[in-house]
Chains A and B, each alone.
Chain A
Amino acid sequence: AQKVTQAQTEISVVEKEDVTLDCVYETRDTTYYLFWYKQPPSGELVFLIRRNSFDEQNEISGRYSWNFQKSTSSFNFTITASQVVDSAVYFCALSEGRGSTLGRLYFGRGTQLTVWP
Protein backbone atom coordinates (compact mmCIF):
# COMPACT_ATOMS: atom_id res chain seq x y z
CA ALA A 1 0.00 0.00 0.00
CA GLN A 2 1.09 3.53 -0.67
CA LYS A 3 1.46 5.87 2.25
CA VAL A 4 2.91 9.31 2.84
CA THR A 5 3.67 10.63 6.30
CA GLN A 6 4.26 14.26 7.16
CA ALA A 7 4.90 14.11 10.87
CA GLN A 8 5.02 17.88 11.36
CA THR A 9 1.49 19.24 11.57
CA GLU A 10 2.48 22.85 12.15
CA ILE A 11 5.75 24.75 12.04
CA SER A 12 6.31 28.38 12.98
CA VAL A 13 9.47 30.28 12.16
CA VAL A 14 10.56 33.88 12.04
CA GLU A 15 11.45 35.44 8.72
CA LYS A 16 14.92 34.59 7.37
CA GLU A 17 15.12 31.35 9.30
CA ASP A 18 15.70 28.14 7.37
CA VAL A 19 13.02 25.48 7.70
CA THR A 20 12.82 21.83 6.66
CA LEU A 21 9.57 20.01 6.03
CA ASP A 22 9.80 16.26 6.41
CA CYS A 23 8.18 13.64 4.20
CA VAL A 24 8.46 9.87 4.55
CA TYR A 25 6.81 7.50 2.13
CA GLU A 26 6.00 3.81 1.78
CA THR A 27 5.52 1.92 -1.45
CA ARG A 28 6.22 -1.51 -2.91
CA ASP A 29 6.55 -0.13 -6.42
CA THR A 30 9.99 0.14 -7.93
CA THR A 31 8.81 2.95 -10.17
CA TYR A 32 7.10 5.85 -8.47
CA TYR A 33 7.05 9.63 -8.38
CA LEU A 34 7.19 12.08 -5.53
CA PHE A 35 5.72 15.57 -5.49
CA TRP A 36 5.50 18.64 -3.33
CA TYR A 37 2.56 21.02 -3.55
CA LYS A 38 1.98 24.36 -1.84
CA GLN A 39 -1.47 25.54 -0.78
CA PRO A 40 -1.54 29.24 0.13
CA PRO A 41 -4.46 30.71 2.11
CA SER A 42 -6.34 31.32 -1.15
CA GLY A 43 -6.77 27.55 -1.44
CA GLU A 44 -5.38 26.51 -4.80
CA LEU A 45 -2.72 23.80 -4.95
CA VAL A 46 0.48 24.93 -6.59
CA PHE A 47 2.84 22.31 -7.94
CA LEU A 48 6.45 22.78 -6.74
CA ILE A 49 8.48 19.76 -7.78
CA ARG A 50 8.37 16.14 -8.90
CA ARG A 51 10.98 13.43 -8.57
CA ASN A 52 11.03 9.95 -10.05
CA SER A 53 12.33 6.98 -8.14
CA PHE A 54 15.40 6.63 -10.32
CA ASP A 55 16.66 10.13 -9.77
CA GLU A 56 18.20 10.70 -6.35
CA GLN A 57 19.87 13.95 -7.23
CA ASN A 58 19.03 16.75 -4.89
CA GLU A 59 17.50 19.80 -6.47
CA ILE A 60 17.73 23.49 -5.72
CA SER A 61 15.43 26.15 -7.07
CA GLY A 62 16.12 29.56 -5.63
CA ARG A 63 15.43 29.40 -1.90
CA TYR A 64 13.86 25.93 -2.22
CA SER A 65 15.77 22.67 -2.11
CA TRP A 66 14.76 19.03 -1.96
CA ASN A 67 16.61 16.05 -0.51
CA PHE A 68 15.51 12.67 -1.85
CA GLN A 69 16.95 9.62 -0.07
CA LYS A 70 15.69 6.19 -1.12
CA SER A 71 17.60 4.51 1.70
CA THR A 72 15.39 6.24 4.26
CA SER A 73 12.32 6.65 1.99
CA SER A 74 12.36 10.36 2.57
CA PHE A 75 11.81 13.40 0.37
CA ASN A 76 12.43 16.46 2.52
CA PHE A 77 11.88 20.07 1.50
CA THR A 78 13.97 22.96 2.79
CA ILE A 79 13.20 26.65 2.48
CA THR A 80 16.21 28.86 3.02
CA ALA A 81 15.80 32.38 4.39
CA SER A 82 12.04 31.99 4.77
CA GLN A 83 9.67 34.83 3.92
CA VAL A 84 6.15 35.68 5.03
CA VAL A 85 4.88 34.71 1.57
CA ASP A 86 6.06 31.16 2.24
CA SER A 87 3.26 30.78 4.79
CA ALA A 88 1.06 27.99 3.45
CA VAL A 89 0.15 24.35 3.83
CA TYR A 90 2.67 22.11 2.10
CA PHE A 91 1.74 18.66 0.88
CA CYS A 92 4.01 15.80 -0.05
CA ALA A 93 2.51 13.21 -2.42
CA LEU A 94 3.38 9.87 -3.98
CA SER A 95 2.22 8.60 -7.36
CA GLU A 96 2.27 5.13 -8.83
CA GLY A 97 3.95 4.74 -12.19
CA ARG A 98 1.75 2.42 -14.22
CA GLY A 99 -1.67 0.95 -14.88
CA SER A 100 -5.08 2.51 -15.26
CA THR A 101 -4.57 4.44 -12.08
CA LEU A 102 -1.68 6.30 -13.63
CA GLY A 103 -1.29 9.61 -11.92
CA ARG A 104 -3.27 8.82 -8.80
CA LEU A 105 -1.71 10.74 -5.89
CA TYR A 106 -1.42 9.65 -2.29
CA PHE A 107 -1.10 12.71 -0.12
CA GLY A 108 0.38 13.29 3.29
CA ARG A 109 -1.73 15.23 5.76
CA GLY A 110 0.16 18.42 5.11
CA THR A 111 2.35 20.74 7.16
CA GLN A 112 1.09 24.21 8.00
CA LEU A 113 4.04 26.59 7.80
CA THR A 114 3.69 30.02 9.35
CA VAL A 115 6.45 32.55 8.82
CA TRP A 116 6.30 35.53 11.16
CA PRO A 117 7.74 38.92 10.21
Chain B
Amino acid sequence: DVKVTQSSRYLVKRTGEKVFLECVQDMDHENMFWYRQDPGLGLRLIYFSYDVKMKEKGDIPEGYSVSREKKERFSLILESASTNQTSMYLCASISGKIRNQPQHFGDGTRLSIL
Protein backbone atom coordinates (compact mmCIF):
# COMPACT_ATOMS: atom_id res chain seq x y z
CA ASP B 1 0.00 0.00 0.00
CA VAL B 2 1.25 3.47 -0.88
CA LYS B 3 2.21 5.58 2.08
CA VAL B 4 2.46 9.35 1.90
CA THR B 5 3.69 10.81 5.15
CA GLN B 6 3.51 14.44 6.12
CA SER B 7 5.86 15.42 8.92
CA SER B 8 3.32 17.21 11.11
CA ARG B 9 -0.41 16.92 11.60
CA TYR B 10 -0.68 20.28 13.35
CA LEU B 11 1.76 23.18 13.26
CA VAL B 12 1.67 26.64 14.80
CA LYS B 13 4.12 29.30 13.63
CA ARG B 14 4.52 33.05 13.88
CA THR B 15 4.27 35.70 11.20
CA GLY B 16 7.56 36.16 9.39
CA GLU B 17 8.96 32.74 10.24
CA LYS B 18 10.33 30.43 7.57
CA VAL B 19 8.22 27.28 7.61
CA PHE B 20 9.05 23.88 6.16
CA LEU B 21 6.39 21.26 5.45
CA GLU B 22 7.83 17.87 4.60
CA CYS B 23 6.30 15.07 2.59
CA VAL B 24 7.74 11.61 2.00
CA GLN B 25 6.34 8.82 -0.17
CA ASP B 26 7.49 5.23 -0.24
CA MET B 27 6.38 4.08 -3.70
CA ASP B 28 9.09 5.53 -5.90
CA HIS B 29 6.57 7.86 -7.50
CA GLU B 30 7.85 10.42 -9.99
CA ASN B 31 5.13 13.03 -9.49
CA MET B 32 4.43 14.84 -6.25
CA PHE B 33 2.05 17.66 -5.45
CA TRP B 34 1.31 20.24 -2.77
CA TYR B 35 -2.25 21.47 -2.33
CA ARG B 36 -3.83 23.97 -0.05
CA GLN B 37 -7.39 23.41 1.20
CA ASP B 38 -9.62 26.20 2.46
CA PRO B 39 -13.32 26.00 3.32
CA GLY B 40 -15.49 26.61 0.28
CA LEU B 41 -12.50 26.72 -2.07
CA GLY B 42 -11.68 23.04 -2.35
CA LEU B 43 -8.11 21.97 -3.04
CA ARG B 44 -5.88 24.36 -4.93
CA LEU B 45 -2.55 23.33 -6.39
CA ILE B 46 0.48 25.24 -5.11
CA TYR B 47 3.40 23.44 -6.77
CA PHE B 48 4.17 20.09 -8.26
CA SER B 49 7.22 18.15 -9.30
CA TYR B 50 7.63 15.41 -11.88
CA ASP B 51 11.26 14.56 -11.19
CA VAL B 52 14.09 15.26 -8.80
CA LYS B 53 15.06 18.93 -8.87
CA MET B 54 12.16 19.67 -11.24
CA LYS B 55 9.25 21.83 -10.18
CA GLU B 56 6.32 23.59 -11.77
CA LYS B 57 4.03 26.26 -10.42
CA GLY B 58 0.45 25.41 -9.79
CA ASP B 59 -2.40 27.84 -9.48
CA ILE B 60 -1.37 29.67 -6.30
CA PRO B 61 2.46 29.61 -5.96
CA GLU B 62 2.86 33.12 -4.54
CA GLY B 63 4.51 33.10 -1.13
CA TYR B 64 5.67 29.50 -1.46
CA SER B 65 8.64 27.61 -2.81
CA VAL B 66 9.45 23.90 -3.01
CA SER B 67 12.41 21.59 -2.94
CA ARG B 68 12.82 18.11 -4.42
CA GLU B 69 16.36 16.93 -3.76
CA LYS B 70 15.42 13.26 -3.48
CA LYS B 71 12.75 11.37 -5.33
CA GLU B 72 10.85 10.36 -2.21
CA ARG B 73 10.77 13.78 -0.55
CA PHE B 74 8.97 16.96 -1.56
CA SER B 75 9.19 19.97 0.72
CA LEU B 76 6.96 23.03 0.76
CA ILE B 77 8.56 26.21 2.07
CA LEU B 78 6.85 29.34 3.30
CA GLU B 79 9.64 31.88 2.99
CA SER B 80 8.05 34.41 5.37
CA ALA B 81 4.83 33.09 6.82
CA SER B 82 1.80 35.34 6.85
CA THR B 83 -1.59 34.93 8.52
CA ASN B 84 -3.32 34.37 5.17
CA GLN B 85 -1.31 31.18 4.81
CA THR B 86 -3.17 29.61 7.71
CA SER B 87 -4.72 26.58 6.04
CA MET B 88 -4.74 22.81 5.60
CA TYR B 89 -1.89 21.59 3.40
CA LEU B 90 -2.06 18.27 1.59
CA CYS B 91 0.70 16.42 -0.17
CA ALA B 92 0.06 13.79 -2.85
CA SER B 93 2.03 11.52 -5.11
CA ILE B 94 1.41 9.43 -8.23
CA SER B 95 3.41 7.31 -10.60
CA GLY B 96 4.52 9.19 -13.69
CA LYS B 97 4.57 6.02 -15.76
CA ILE B 98 1.17 4.48 -15.15
CA ARG B 99 -1.84 6.34 -16.46
CA ASN B 100 -5.14 6.87 -14.72
CA GLN B 101 -3.99 5.95 -11.26
CA PRO B 102 -5.44 7.93 -8.37
CA GLN B 103 -3.26 10.33 -6.44
CA HIS B 104 -2.30 9.14 -2.98
CA PHE B 105 -2.66 11.75 -0.27
CA GLY B 106 -1.02 12.30 3.06
CA ASP B 107 -3.11 13.00 6.16
CA GLY B 108 -2.60 16.75 5.84
CA THR B 109 -0.96 19.43 7.96
CA ARG B 110 -3.15 22.02 9.65
CA LEU B 111 -0.94 25.10 9.76
CA SER B 112 -1.79 28.12 11.87
CA ILE B 113 0.17 31.34 11.46
CA LEU B 114 -0.21 33.69 14.44
Contacts and interface: CB of A to CB of B under 8 A. Distances in A.
Contacts of B107: 42-44
Interface in B34-73: 35, 40-45, 48, 50, 56
A35 B45 CA distance: 16
A63 interface: no
Interface string A86-104: 0000010001010011111
Contacts of B108: 43-44
Given A43-B108, A47-B102, A50-B100, A103 B94 contact: yes
A102 B31 contact: yes
Contact of B99 (A9, A102, A104): A102
B103 A102 contact: no
Q: Is the interface on chain B under 10, 10 to 19, 20 to 34, or 35 or more residues?
A: 20 to 34
* SS of A interface (majority): loop
A82 B25 CA distance: 34
B33 interface: yes
A103 B101 contact: yes
Interface residues of A, number: 25
B21 interface: no
Interface in B98-113: 99-108, 110
Contact of B103 (A52, A103, A108, A110): A103
A45 interface: yes
Nearest to A105: B103
B41 A100 contact: no
Nearest to B43: A107
B83 to A, nearest CB: 21
A9 B39 CA distance: 10
Contacts of A116: none
Interface of B: 31, 33, 35, 40-45, 48, 50, 56, 88, 90, 92, 94-96, 99-108, 110
20 contacts: A9-B40, A33-B99, A37-B105, A43-B88, A43-B107, A43-B108, A43-B110, A45-B90, A45-B92, A52-B100, A95-B100, A97-B100, A102-B50, A102-B96, A103-B94, A105-B103, A107-B35, A107-B42, A107-B44, A110-B42
